[in-house]
Homo-oligomer: A and B are copies of this chain.
Amino acid sequence: MSKAPPPKPTDSELEILHVLWQHGPATVRAINDHLSQRRQAEVGYTTTLKILQLMLEKALVRRDDADRSHVYRAAVREQETQGLLLDKFVDATFGGSAMKLVMQALGSRPTSADELAQIRRLLNDIEIQNSTPNSDDDDHA
């Protein structure tokens, strides 16, 4: 066990991660431009820089400082991070019941037939996996 899991990103950090996940490695300048677009207002350049520096300490990003303009890239995977945040959120908001959350998410918002079908497929997959005793499956979570 050599890896300490990176901590839960804050809201701002998450926003930056979204940019990195979506567009790949980028300079502070580029990231800052994206952020300024996402929000309606201009974001201070040094603000973005500072957050990236903090994220570097937390090991949420890595950077290549070979060139004068450092290039940052996400050091955590999108799915894993979302899963981590989801866990916390389910605990805090739905008392740990992921079911409740799913019901709420599906029940209280419009969901297209297409999306419903997609979920059905997922349910089928899960049930198949559940019923299969477990062959030597190579694709661990």
**Chain A interface residues toward B at CB < 8 A:** 11, 14-15, 18, 79, 82-83, 85-86, 89-90, 92-95, 98-109, 111, 113, 115-116, 118-120, 122-123, 126-127, 130, 141
B residues less than 8 Å from A123 (CB atoms): 106, 116, 119-120
B14→A141 contact, CB < 8 A: no
Take A14-B92, A89-B89, A115-B99 as given contacts and tell me if A106 and B126 are in contact as well, using a CB distance cutoff of 8 Å.
yes
Residue contact A126 to B101, C-beta cutoff 8 Å = no
Q: How far is the CA of A11 from the CA of B111 in the complex (A)?
A: 29
A98-B109, A109-B98 given; A85·B79 CB < 8 A: no
Residue of A11, A18, A85, A105 with most partner-chain B CB within 10 A: A105
Q: In the bound complex, how far is the Cα of B126 from the Cα of A105, in angstroms?
A: 12
A120 to B126, CA, bound (A): 12
21 A-B pairs in the complex with CB atoms less than 8 angstroms apart: A11-B92, A14-B92, A14-B93, A18-B95, A82-B100, A86-B104, A89-B89, A90-B105, A98-B105, A99-B111, A99-B115, A99-B118, A99-B119, A102-B105, A103-B118, A106-B123, A108-B141, A116-B126, A116-B130, A120-B120, A120-B123
